[in-house]
Amino acid sequence: MNGLTQLGWRHWVVALAVVVFLGWAIQLQSEKEIALKFGEPWEDMRQRSSAAIGPTIPGHFAFSIPKSDARLRFIDPQYGFTTPLARFFTVNFNSDGLTRGIRMSPQIEPLLLEDTLRVVLDLQEQWHKAGWVPIRVEQDPPFADTPQWRARLRDVNKGGTSYWQAGNQYQVMLVVNRFKDIKRPTEERYLIKLALARPWVKP
């Protein structure tokens, strides 16, 4: 009898694990993304992405915004990375209808400090593993989970900025600041900003 009970318990545990895994997989599939290669035709990006985004305006430099929350999956053989879901997300295009830059906030609401650090440190880890290099480190060092960085981010007059470069191909600017969240006026909340483009500042 004990053997049958243990067998039933094991089956229940396995079934629960399968349900949890399927729920996680369904959630991932339901999250929309902009899957983008830098400098590619806009329509190629639109067709590849699961998030809907409008067409270009022929002959104009402008931007478009995904029609839902979406993560960025930046496609590059060496330097690719993925962000969390974003609510503020713009994709720039040039007059030839080619993708040319990203401006986004990789979050769907202002975050607590712990969650903010988790996001920026994960992005930096992805960049580091892919061969991106932090630049301008004397003025703008990479973010870190240290008492000094936490104090700096909590200071409404400071915040932080970090620049990363991928060879001579791309640069990323990552910015974190305190944000006054009118929905949670008693909480410390933070806004993350990310810009991706061809190199525009000197290392």
The per-residue pLDDT for range 154-167, each reduced to its tens digit, is: 999 999 999 999 99
- pTM for the complete prediction? 0.83
Is residue 26 domain-shared with residue 88, that is, in the same domain? Answer: no
Is residue 78 domain-shared with residue 20, that is, in the same domain? Answer: no
Is residue 57 domain-shared with residue 153, that is, in the same domain? Answer: yes
| The pair of three-digit structure tokens given for residue 54, joined into one six-digit string | 């409008």
Query: Which domain range does residue 4 map to?
Result: 1-30
The per-residue pLDDT for range 49-65, each reduced to its tens digit, is: 999 999 998 889 999 99
Is residue 9 domain-shared with residue 38, that is, in the same domain? Answer: no
DSSP letters for 83-149: ---BSEEEEEE-TTSBEEEEEEESSSS-B-HHHHHHHHHHHHHHHHHHT-EEESTTTSPPP--SHHH
Least-confidence region, from 13-22, 39-48, 109-118: 13-22
Q: Is the model's pLDDT at 108 over the cut of 60?
A: yes
Is residue 37 domain-shared with residue 98, that is, in the same domain? Answer: yes
Residue 6 has a pLDDT of: 56
Is residue 19 domain-shared with residue 107, that is, in the same domain? Answer: no
Q: Is the model's pLDDT at 200 over the cut of 80?
A: yes
Is residue 157 domain-shared with residue 139, that is, in the same domain? Answer: yes
Is residue 19 domain-shared with residue 71, that is, in the same domain? Answer: no
Residue 30 has a pLDDT of: 77
Structural domains in the chain (count)? 2
Is residue 53 domain-shared with residue 114, that is, in the same domain? Answer: yes
Is residue 70 domain-shared with residue 143, that is, in the same domain? Answer: yes
Is residue 140 domain-shared with residue 192, that is, in the same domain? Answer: yes
Place of tokens 């989970």: 145
Residues sharing a CB contact under 8 Å with residue 165, sequence separation 6 or more, in sequence order: 132, 133, 135, 171, 172, 199, 203
**Cα–Cα distance list, 108 to 33, 43, 46, 124, 194 (Å):** 13, 26, 22, 19, 14
**Residues recorded for the chain:** 203
Is residue 10 domain-shared with residue 97, that is, in the same domain? Answer: no
Give the CA count within 13 Å in the CB-facing half-sphere of 115. Answer: 14
